[in-house]
Amino acid sequence: MEGSGGYTPESGVEYMFIGEYQHSIDKKGRVIIPSKFREDLGETFIITKGLDNCLFVYPLEEWKILEEKLKSLPLTRRDARAFVRFFFAGATEGSLDKQGRVLIPGNLREHSRLKSEAVIIGVSNRVEIWSKDEWNKYNKNDDLSYESIAEKMAELGI
């Protein structure tokens, strides 16, 4: 995909995952990955526990860059060790079947509270998979209004 977000100079790969899609989850725990995301995710990708009760999905090249950054965190810091454990222990390789579905393992479905409906969103260099209920709660959070977030981003120079 063409785009300006998610560029990784180390690999020369450019990702631009954008958009919001809703899909059901079948009885086996499989969910369709939107066709617009499939090519950039590749044949094999990494799914892990994300923040805010969602799942993060990374193309392998992006995961390797993130892995290097996480490996550089100081082992002597308790919070760094805890975050690395959380992130890596929940990680698994994913791949798409012929229908464009990925099997979400039980522990990841439990973490993200996925039951029957999912929202798949593009977030620049990664894809996030949300329970529809959790996504709706997240979007109704008054502390996360678009205006208040924009004000905070302005403070960071964005």
More confident residue, 147 or 30: 30
Q: Domain boundaries in the chain?
A: 7-131
Question: What pLDDT band is residue 142 in, cutting at 50, 70 and 90?
Answer: low
pLDDT of 149 higher than 80: no
Find, among 157, 143, 145, 125, the residue nearest to 14 by Cα.
125
State residue 37 phi and psi, 5-degree precision.
Answer: -95, -20
pLDDT digits (tens, 9 = 90+) for 20-78: 999 999 999 999 999 999 999 999 999 999 999 999 999 999 999 999 999 899 989 99
Element (H, E) at 150: helix 146-155
State yes or no: pLDDT of 153 exceeds 80: no
Quick one: fold of 7-131?
Chemotaxis protein chec (3.40.1550)
- How many residues can be counted in the chain? 158
Which amino acid appears at position 121 of this protein?
I
Please, are residues 129 and 115 in contact by the beta-carbon 8 Å criterion? no
Collapsing DSSP to helix, strand or coil, 67 comes out as helix
| pTM metric for this prediction | 0.85
